[in-house]
């Protein structure tokens, strides 16, 4: 029986192992950490967003310029396939109002347990605390609790993650090993990251408050998602979705009243306010909640009194931030193995028989189901591609 090796025990690696085993190969999966899919489990603590019901145009927009390279993979294992796969593992799903898909239990652990049971039943051998150290001749070299070990396989899938959340296993250390072999890599950069702010003391009472019903923009990137005011800055899906624009140097702005046009806002502000302060007037006529009002005053103090000047400001409040949060705090990363470095099956052109999947590839997408869908789709594609390549090479 031909042997397959999968290095990395996140969603992409597990999916590759599943497909390799289904093709009849003897599969060994090695993971550096003591347990599998740690980032997957962490993401599921706040509600596991498996995928998102999305049109082809929405998928292409989410994956940006990488959509072309991922197109066939998303066709083969897109949102519908993700749902069918999870349901086959015994997970009852529901679709939220925004199209996001969740297990009814909202947790990742039941799905992971069922998945690992399936892999074990399929004969996949799982070895934890096996850290990949590169090549030793034709073998793969691992540091293990028992010392250095070598493994040889007929085909290998690398699914080692990006370069964020090193404590959960994605430290990007593999990049140097591939660079030594001549593989083309794009530099890592934070994606889906919060922003660091230097708040005044007046913002402390609002730490933990959510900014809802707002519109964020940074250059060509826009979002209607929420953000949370924290001691460190702004975090949440609304900010994550535009973090690429921030990373590329665009000004971050927020529309505090995206449902209203500037003319309507000006008309409301022009109403007589009597002895009410400007803050109370804003609360009364525009229904600005305390978090929105605090952010406005923090970013645009002193506020103009004239409605004609204040109305457009409310539509384009400039957020004076320091920087994106560090890469190791980002949910995901851009950069990694470039698409020209792999063939249509995700095999490295310079290393026949070695395939890559998941966040190792140079793509990024917003949170909300797209990230996990991309990892599962590339893992599925690499596993299938590796099995097909091996069969054709026999």
- pLDDT tens readout for residues 220-275: 999 999 999 999 999 999 999 999 999 999 999 999 999 999 999 999 999 988 88
* Cis peptide bond upstream of 361, omega within 30: no
Class in CATH terms, 3-190+335-393: alpha beta
CA 52, CA 74: separation in Å to the nearest integer?
12
Residue 72 has a CB neighbour count (10 Å cut-off) of 13
Pairing of strands 227-229, 139-144: unpaired
What the block records as the tokens of 94 is: 């529901």
Percent of the chain with pLDDT over 70: 100
Confidence of residue 276 (pLDDT cuts 50, 70, 90): confident
The pTM for the full model equals: 0.94
Return residue ranges of the chain for CATH 3.50.50.60. Answer: 3-190+335-393
- Bridge partners for 302 per DSSP: none
Span between the terminal Cα atoms of the chain, in Å: 12
Confidence of residue 78 (pLDDT cuts 50, 70, 90): very high
Return residue ranges of the chain for CATH 2.40.30.10. Answer: 195-324
CA 77, CA 307: separation in Å to the nearest integer?
52
Q: What are the pLDDT digits (tens) for 9-47?
A: 999 999 999 999 999 999 999 999 999 999 999 887 778
Strand order in the sheet with 125-128: 125-128, 26-31, 3-7, 155-158, 354-356
Class in CATH terms, 195-324: mainly beta
């Amino acid at each position: 029986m031909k042997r397959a090796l999968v290095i990395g025990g996140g969603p992409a690696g597990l999916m590759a192992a599943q497909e390799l085993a289904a093709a009849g190969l003897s599969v060994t999966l090695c993971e550096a950490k003591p347990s599998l899919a740690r980032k997957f489990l962490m993401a599921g603590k706040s509600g596991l967003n498996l995928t998102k019901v999305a049109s082809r145009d929405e998928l292409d927009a989410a994956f940006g310029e990488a959509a072309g390279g991922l197109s066939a993979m998303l066709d083969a294992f897109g949102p519908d396939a993700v749902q069918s796969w999870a349901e086959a593992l015994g997970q009852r799903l529901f679709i939220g109002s925004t199209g996001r898909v969740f297990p009814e239990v909202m947790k990742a652990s039941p799905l992971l347990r069922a998945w690992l049971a399936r892999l074990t039943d399929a004969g996949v051998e799982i070895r934890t605390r096996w850290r990949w150290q590169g090549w030793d001749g034709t073998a793969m070299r691992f540091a293990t609790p028992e010392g250095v070990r070598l493994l040889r396989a007929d085909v290998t899938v690398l699914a080692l993650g990006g370069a964020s959340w090193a404590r959960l296993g994605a430290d990007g250390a593999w990049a140097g090993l591939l660079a030594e072999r001549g593989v083309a890599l794009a530099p890592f950069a934070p994606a889906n990251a919060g922003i660091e702010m230097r708040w005044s003391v007046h913002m402390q009472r609002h730490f933990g408050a959510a900014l809802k019903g707002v519109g964020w923009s940074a250059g060509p990137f826009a979002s209607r998602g929420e953000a949370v005011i924290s001691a460190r800055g702004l975090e949440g899906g609304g900010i994550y979705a535009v973090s690429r624009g921030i990373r590329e140097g665009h000004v971050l702005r927020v529309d505090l009243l995206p449902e209203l046009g500037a003319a309507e806002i000006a008309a409301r502000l022009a109403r007589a306010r009597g002895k009410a302060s400007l803050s109370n007037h804003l609360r009364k006529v525009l229904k600005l909640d305390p978090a929105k009002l605090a952010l406005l005053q923090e970013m645009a103090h002193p506020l103009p009194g004239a409605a004609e000047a204040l109305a457009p400001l409310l539509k384009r409040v400039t957020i004076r931030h320091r920087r994106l949060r560090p890469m190791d705090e980002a949910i995901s990363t851009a950069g990694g193995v470039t698409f020209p470095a792999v063939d249509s099956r995700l095999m490295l052109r310079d290393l026949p028989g070695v395939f890559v999947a998941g966040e190792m590839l140079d793509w990024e997408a917003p949170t909300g189901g797209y990230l996990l869908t991309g990892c599962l789709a590339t893992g599925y594609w690499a596993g299938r591609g590796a099995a097909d390549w091996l069969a054709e090479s026999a």
